[in-house]
Amino acid sequence: MKTRHQITALVAMQIAPVIFGLGIIAVLMIPALNANAMYLIPLAVAASFLISPLIAYRIAPELRTARLYEDSPRRAA
């Protein structure tokens, strides 16, 4: 497994609850959406699991390169 995919898996697990939370807040705070909450909450769950790997895949290379240019005592030796 490539390093990018490993980072993507770790980051996706952190992004999914954030996207889910945004979806739930939108469903519960907007009265028109709240009327259909029975259908929209499962949709928010599915959307968070489908969208989070895509966002994480895009973020993963930036997290990897940030470590390459870090000035830390571990790399100075």
pTM score, two decimals?
0.75
- In the predicted model, is pLDDT for residue 76 greater than 70? no
pLDDT at 77 over 80: no
What DSSP letter does each residue of 16-76 carry, written as one string? HHHHHHHHHHHHHHSHHHHTTHHHHHHHHHHHHHHHHHHHHHHHHHHHHHHHHT---HHHH
pLDDT of residue 3: 86
pLDDT digits (tens, 9 = 90+) for 11-33: 999 999 999 999 999 999 999 99
Model confidence at 69, pLDDT cuts 50, 70, 90, reads low
The domain spans of the chain are 20-59
Task: Render pLDDT for 38-49 as a digit per residue (tens, 0 to 9).
Answer: 999 999 999 999
